[in-house]
Structure 1
C-alpha cells in the first residue's frame, strides 16, 4: 500500500473527477448534442496532449506498429466506447446504464488480465472487489430500481458492452506502456479517437448558438477537456501501469458515488440511506484491495 499510495490516491481522484462530471455535463447537454460535446471534449484535448508531450519528452512520434495499435485503441476505447455510453443512456434507464456500465468492467479486467499481463486474481482482490461491487450496486440502485423489461434490452446490451470494450481497452494500453509513457499513449489514442468521431458531428454544429455561450458552458467544457481528459487519462494510465489493470479498475466504483454527491450538491438530489451504506461498503472494498502488501506487478518496463 505504501509503495503505491500515490497511485491509489490518483486513481481515486480520477474517479471523483469523472463522477462529478455527471453533474457538470448535465448543464452542457442543454446546449450541445451529446456527439458534439463528446467530440469537443476529446478534440480540444488533442493539442494540450501534444504540446505537453513535446515539452516533457522532446518528441511526439511513434513507430508505425505502435501507431496502428493506438489507432485501434482510439477506435474502440474512445469513439465506440463513448458512443455506446451515450446511447445506452438513451435506450435504457439511468440506473440500468450506470450499473451495467460500471459494475462488470473491473470484473472483466480481472478475468482478462492474465492474458495480457502477469497479474493474477488474488483472494484479497476477489473479496475486496466483490464487496465494492455490492456497494456500488447499493449506490446506483438506491436512486431507482433495476428494470429488466424488454423495452430496455437494447440499452442494457449496450451498457454491458461498455464494460467489455472498456476492459479490453484498458488492457490494450498495458503492452504499449512497457515502452512508451502514459502521456504519449494517451495523446495518440485521443487523437485517433477524435478524428474518427468527427464525421458523426456534422449535423450538430449548426444547432449551437455559439455567440450566446456563457461562462457556465465554457467552464464545463474546460473542465471536461483539462480535468476529465488530459489530466485524468494521463494519471489513470500511469497509475494503472504501476499497480496493475485489475486492481486499479476496481477504483471505478467510486465514480457512481461521486456522481451521487455531485447530484446532491448541484441539483439538490436526495441521498438515501442505502446509498450511504453502499458507499461505506465500496470504500471498505477499495481499502481492502489497496492494503495488500505484495500486489502482483504488471509487465515490467522493456529495456
Structure 2
C-alpha cells in the first residue's frame, strides 16, 4: 500500500475510534443520569466544552472570528445539529424502547447522507459503497435487535419512533452542511462556533433543572462522566470526526457510525454485566466486514488547503 493509502487508513481509524468513544458514552452517561436531567447534562457537555474549543482555535489558528456571511449557516448548524438533534435523541429514548431508538437513530443516518449528498458534495455512490453499506446495516440491525428488547411495534412507541427516525434525517443534513462550510473554514472553526451557538440555543431548556441537582453531593463517577463527555466525547471526538469526515467524505464516514451501537453493547457488558448474544456477535462480524470493504476503496482525498491543515 502506498503512502496515500496508508495516510487514508488513519482517517478511517479516526472515524472508528470516535464512533467507539460515542458508543461507550451510552454506558458512561448512565452513571450520571439519575442525578442530572438529560437536557441539562447535554448542555453541560457542550456548554463547558465551548471555552476549550475557543482556546484551541486561538492557539492553533491565531484568531477566533468568523466571516459575517458564515454566521447564518453556523447558527443553523448549532440550532439543528446540536440543540434540536440532542433534545430529539433524549426524548426519542423516553417515548420508545432503547432498541427502537438505537436502531432508528443510527441505521438510516448513512442512507440519508448518501441520498442528500448530491445537494452538497460531488461524492459518487459506488458499488463497493452500496455493498459494504448494506452489509454494515445488516450487522448493526443484528447488534441492536439481537439484545433482549428486540424491535417493538406498537402505537405507544410511534411518537418516539418518529422522533428517532427524524434524528437520522437531521443528523445527515447536519454532517453534509458542515462539509460545505469546511471548504471555507477549518473543521476546528466550524466545530467551535457550531457548538457555541448550539449551547446558547439549548440554555433556555435547562432553566428548571439547575436547582434540582444536589451539587455538593456529586461523586467521583459524576465528575468522570462530565470529563468524559466534555473533553473526550465532545472536544476531541468532534475535531477528529470532522477532520476525518472532510478527507473521507460524508457518505462513507457516516457508515462508520454503525460502530456506535456495537461499542455501546461492549461497554454495557464490561461496565454493567449485560449479556452479549450470538446474534450480536454475528452482527458485529457483518458490520466489520462491510466497513472494511468500504475503507478498502481507492478514493482521491480532497486537496489539503490552508483552512484544513491546522486541524489534524
Name structure 1 gaps, 5 residues minimum.
none
The aligned counterpart of 1:138 is 142
Match among 157, 161, 172 for residue 156 of structure 1: 161
The aligned counterpart of 2:172 is 167
Question: How many angstroms apart in 2 are the aligned matches of 1:271 and 1:37?
Answer: 28
Match among 198, 214, 217 for residue 209 of structure 1: 214
Alignment of 1:253-264 (within 5 A): 253-264=258-269
Aligned length: 302
Question: How many angstroms apart in 2 are the aligned matches of 1:213 and 1:2?
Answer: 45
Asked whether 1:17 is paired with 2:17, we answer no
Asked whether 1:269 is paired with 2:271, we answer no
Question: How many angstroms apart in 1 are the aligned matches of 2:303 and 2:169?
Answer: 22
The aligned counterpart of 1:93 is 97
Question: How many angstroms apart in 1 are the aligned matches of 2:180 and 2:258?
Answer: 25
The aligned counterpart of 1:106 is 110
TM-score, structure 2 normalization = 0.95
TM-score, structure 1 normalization = 0.97
Q: Report the alpha carbon displacement of residue 240 of structure 1 after superposing the two structures with TM.
A: 0.4
Aligned CA RMSD, in angstroms, stands at 1.3
Match among 85, 88, 95 for residue 84 of structure 1: 88
Q: Report the alpha carbon displacement of residue 2 of structure 1 after superposing the two structures with TM.
A: 2.7
- Residues 298 and 89 from structure 1, CA distance in 2 versus in 1: closer, same or farther, beyond 3 angstroms? farther
The aligned counterpart of 2:124 is 120
Asked whether 1:41 is paired with 2:23, we answer no
- Residues 204 and 77 from structure 1, CA distance in 2 versus in 1: closer, same or farther, beyond 3 angstroms? same
Asked whether 1:224 is paired with 2:229, we answer yes
The aligned counterpart of 2:291 is 286
Q: Report the alpha carbon displacement of residue 180 of structure 1 after superposing the two structures with TM.
A: 1.0
Q: Report the alpha carbon displacement of residue 3 of structure 1 after superposing the two structures with TM.
A: 3.5
Name structure 2 gaps, 5 residues minimum.
308-312
Q: Report the alpha carbon displacement of residue 79 of structure 1 after superposing the two structures with TM.
A: 0.2
The aligned counterpart of 2:310 is none
SS of 2:27's equivalent in the other structure is helix
The aligned counterpart of 1:26 is 30
Q: Report the alpha carbon displacement of residue 68 of structure 1 after superposing the two structures with TM.
A: 1.5
